[in-house]
Amino acid sequence: MSSFFVTGTDTNVGKTIATRAIIQALQELDVDVVGYKPIACMQDDENSVGNNVEQESDYGAEDNVDVLTLMNTTKQDVSYRDINSYTFGHTMPLFTDQGEQIQIEKINQDLDKLNQKYQTVVVEGCFGWLSPINKHFSFADWVVTHQMPVVLVVGIKEGCINHTLLTVQSILNLGVPLIGWIANRINPCLGHYAEMIDTLRNKIDAPLLGEIPYIYKPEIQNLAKYMTNIERLTYLKTELVR
């Protein structure tokens, strides 16, 4: 009966992996939870042929890795189309004719269906916080209309402090609750990791929910143990985030 939004400081910072960790941690508390990826895009345009070719359905080949990861994470019996509204075979549907397919009304309806059926819906965005959905709405705009609380995934790498603080500032300025943030170590060779975490802890006015280390094939691992402040996520059951 509640939902919250997982956004990132950038693309490829581990939003899907963080979403998996959240779902697994909540399931250990016997919460009926599913993930929802409204828009899924292919990660590499080099693998895409004919970006302007119309696809037969809103779901493409139903083979997006992020959506499949969310399906394989939840214990609920969901189909690909239950937890995804649009899948595209390239990274930038907004800038092709396919962008005209994306309708906010459909995304709203799909989210409502999930909210009515499950205790919690973990909604994963695409790219970053201010990235556009279509020519009229950004993900931030959409989240504001639903007043969904936000979890920010920080890919720990060079430049992440700047990206993180700007994103946090935008989230708070738009008036939606920031539940907390998750550190995802995407560069195992990065120096001063601990110092970066300490700096972000001191600068972000929201708790650190967990730290996901650099691990092999995280999409098939049990990541619940890395969510060290799961109690904060159960805050979703309160009146504030109905």
Contact 89, 48 (CB under 8 A): yes
Write down the catalytic residue from 37, 113, 157, 237.
37
Contact 33, 175 (CB under 8 A): no
Q: Report in angstroms the alpha-carbon separations of 210 from 78, 118, 123, 222, 223.
A: 27, 24, 18, 14, 10
Mention every residue, 6+ apart, whose C-beta is less than 8 A from residue 230: 25, 26, 28, 29, 209, 224
Tokens of 155: 């890919």
CB-based burial, 167-201: b 16+ in 10 Å, e otherwise = bbeebeeeebbbbbbbbbbbeeeeeebeebbeebe
The residue whose two tokens read 């909540």 is 26
DSSP track, 104-161: HHHHHHHHHHHHHHSSEEEEE-SSSTT-BSSSS-BHHHHHHHHT--EEEEEE-STTHH
Q: Please, what sign has the CA dihedral across residues 77, 232, 212, 83?
A: positive
Is 217 a known active-site residue?
A: no
The catalytic residues are 37
